[in-house]
Amino acid sequence: MSSFLDALNEAQRAAVTHINGPTMIIAGPGSGKTRVLTYRVAYLMQEGVDPFSILSLTFTNKAAREMKNRIERVMGGDARSLWMGTFHSVFSRILRGEAEKLGYPSNFTIYDTEDAKNLLKNIVKEMGLNDKLYKPGYVLYRISISKNNLIGPDAYANNADFLAEDEANGRPKMAEVYKQYAKRCFRAGAMDFDDLLLKTHELFERFPDALYKYQHRFKYVMIDEFQDTNFLQYAIVRRIADVFQNIAVVGDDAQSIYAFRGANIANILNFEKDFPEVVTYRLEQNYRSTKVIVEAANNIISKNRHQLEKKIWTDNTEGDTIKVIRAMSDNEEGKMVADVIFEQRMRDHFKNGEFAILYRTNAQSRSFEEALRRLNIPYRIYGGLSFYQRKEIKDLIAYLKLTVNPHDEESFRRVINYPARGIGKTSFEKLTVYAADNEKSLWTMAENVDLLPFNAGTRKLFSDFVTMINSFRAMMETKDAFEVASHVAKSTGILKELYNDQSVEGLSRYENVQELLNSIKEFVSPDEVNSPFYQELLPQEAEQPAKNLATYLQEVVLLTDADQEGNEDETVKLMTVHAAKGLEFKSVFVVGMEENLFPSGMSVNSREELEEERRLFYVAVTRAEQKLTITHAATRYKFGNLEYCEPSRFLEEIPQNLLTYVGYNRNKWQDEKPSKQYDATPITKAKPVAPVQQYVHAPSATFQAAFPEELKVGMQVEHQKFGFGRIAAMEGQNEGLMATINFDKSGQKKLLLKFAKLSIVQ
């Protein structure tokens, strides 16, 4: 047997060597899916299959490159002849050779998202439509969804349901915009990303000779991440594989999390119906995670009704229990996560690059960024910009800076015509020239615009802008930072601008601005609620400086201007759960596990939506190799208001023997602040968690903290919270000195002496 097959387990080897007929490989997390895909192609080539006749489709160019490189190492240069790549790259290659059949030049242009949005913006303008209603992002999203469901402009225009929906949303001309967009693309010899799929399907539909050609060229078809395919992608591949039926799909229905992009989980769930002769292999051995994490994941996903049967298992060690941390607020949640990362770096010697913080929405990153910066822990926002570097955040911050200092030239430039107020490029360039000639700031020239040779309309536009900023400045004298920032966000039109964009990206930007306002609210009122509930959970803060806008901006500048140095592998990764799919880390933090956040409040109205949220949680849990920490906050600012939060229902789906609770007295919490009931979705819940009994120690009157270097193994000590105990062991040195202490009432604790306060008991 070939040497590369010796590296496979029994299930993997069977999946690799079964090459004829329809094949489905259900690959659980950490089961060696990439190795199986790679070796299956290598085995086909070893068995004499021409690499030109193998079509392998992936979802990322990176995955395709890695697979091809691995195959080259096994089989040599012949691997370069494989048709391997993303759906879009492979289909564009097919279209290059067949484009003239569809009336396109062979060198047709491919429009990226920005190209498409710019074209739509021009079309909306030319048609005299309201660009606030026909936002390019939303219109493109609507067109994209239509194309991926094989709905062209004519079909859209003849669909009564679509027309009624557009009419109700105040966009009755959507069908005409779609039609004009398609015409303009065709006239320009251009296709957008969705056209690469739609036109390939059209090619095979209208030209049987082209379909015959590729059906007989590709005798073996493989699809990676099959659960993420949409209706159109699967329709094309089915037609290509229809002659030889040698189609192999690899995926995991439990990791289908992209419905919002059009992914259709029915493709993998119904594959056995589409191909009755399919042979199914299950890769169920997990090589990534501990037994505790694997068992937790199995219990979570078992609650979904619609799934393919499998049972993931592992030979790895038992591992630590999953830590569930309850924080008082989202701000404290960030601090607690940063503290645990600091502790695990010292105790377990994990590198920064071995940590990941996973959240449901990008807007949640702010509190974790701030907490990591305070501890000088380098981090990287994965798959997105740092919170404070996002355009919508920088736009609002620019207005706030201009309010504090109207002579801030860069802020002036950024917002003078955002949101659009009619000040064109030519007018602004003239103002810039006048400012330079007179050696004055842009603001000074704008204040004196009546002295400049502009027409009356342009003068009024500049004058109105100056008046608006001056009104903010006047308000700043009597109002706190949150009141001013909220007023600025509303009166400038930024909030309305973002809210009107109902695309996925638009909603995310709107949430980000709300999160910025939340951070300012927390800056202004960290102790807003003085109930015993808060007093019990929050340490008393030192006296705070003035809560005005200028002070807040100074703090933000210190946070955002710090350079991040070092290799990306030396940074903690922050990302959404969606972005984490396919990755793995030694220590993972799944944060914000609260009702209406995870699961999302928009995804609890049907079983299908709720099951996708549960699959998302399953993906998050299975990213962890050794340690998994789950956090949630008791309160969270939402739209500037402090709200009480209820723990996610998903936490109750993990066996209690796998969990260790921190800061958690659940029954008492619920008694003090009753929470709303879950929605009426008929999901069977686990039994309530028994209350965690916490020992409360009253420090001795003579308590006096000792210096770390005074402490020795065998000493009896007192801790202000954990009580009396004896030092069992010490390790590390200098600031990394740690002590293992057996406390009489609190059990064994491992404390970093730099932070722990211990009194030596005489």
CA separation for the pair 423, 468 (Å, rounded): 15
CA dihedral sign of residues 111, 115, 117, 118: negative
Residues facing 119 on adjacent strands: none
Catalytic residue among 98, 224, 395, 594: 224
CA separation for the pair 662, 326 (Å, rounded): 6
For residue 111, which of 84, 144, 87, 86 has the smallest C-alpha distance?
144
Catalytic residue among 34, 280, 502, 740: 34
The CB density around residue 69, as the number of other CB atoms within 10 Å, is: 11
For residue 20, which of 275, 247, 274, 282 has the smallest C-alpha distance?
247
Q: How is residue 556 written in tokens?
A: 């933000």
**DSSP state, 416?**
T
In 621-671, which ranges are E strands? 624-638, 641-644, 659-662
CA separation for the pair 287, 283 (Å, rounded): 11
**Tokens 């830590």 — which residue?**
323
CA separation for the pair 692, 680 (Å, rounded): 28
CA separation for the pair 34, 16 (Å, rounded): 11
For residue 757, which of 702, 732, 730, 720 has the smallest C-alpha distance?
720
Inter-residue contact 597 to 637 (CB < 8 Å): no
Burial 320-342 (b: 16+ CB within 10 A, else e): bbbbbbbbbbbbbbbbbbbebbb
CA separation for the pair 84, 73 (Å, rounded): 16
Is the peptide bond between 419 and the residue preceding it cis, with omega within 30 degrees of 0?
yes
Q: Identify the H or E element spanning 558.
A: helix 549-560
CA separation for the pair 318, 311 (Å, rounded): 17
For residue 574, which of 723, 745, 384 has the smallest C-alpha distance?
384
**Tokens 């059906």 — which residue?**
215
CA 545 to chain centre: 34
Could you tell me where the DSSP H helices lie in 151-265? 153-157, 160-168, 174-187, 193-206, 208-217, 231-240
DSSP string, 248-272: EEEE-GGG---GGGTB-THHHHTHH
Q: How is residue 11 written in tokens?
A: 């299930």
Q: Active site includes 224?
A: yes
Catalytic residue among 12, 13, 23, 33: 33
Q: How is residue 399 written in tokens?
A: 């207005």
Q: How is residue 494 written in tokens?
A: 């930024």
In 265-412, which ranges are E strands? 279-283, 322-329, 355-359, 379-381
Catalytic residue among 623, 627, 636, 649: 623
**DSSP state, 83?**
E
3-state secondary structure of 203: helix
CA separation for the pair 164, 541 (Å, rounded): 56
Q: Active site includes 225?
A: yes
Q: Active site includes 33?
A: yes
Q: Active site includes 623?
A: yes
Inter-residue contact 312 to 29 (CB < 8 Å): yes
Inter-residue contact 703 to 718 (CB < 8 Å): yes
Catalytic residue among 12, 38, 200, 255: 255
Neighbouring residues of 604: CB distance < 8 A, sequence distance ≥ 6: 596, 610, 613, 678, 679, 681
DSSP string, 18-63: --SS-EEEEE-TTS-HHHHHHHHHHHHHHTT--GGGEEEEES-HHH
Catalytic residue among 166, 192, 195, 225: 225
Size (the chain), residues = 762
Q: How is residue 410 written in tokens?
A: 């860069």
Inter-residue contact 72 to 38 (CB < 8 Å): no
Point out the residues that are catalytic: 33-34, 224-225, 255, 623
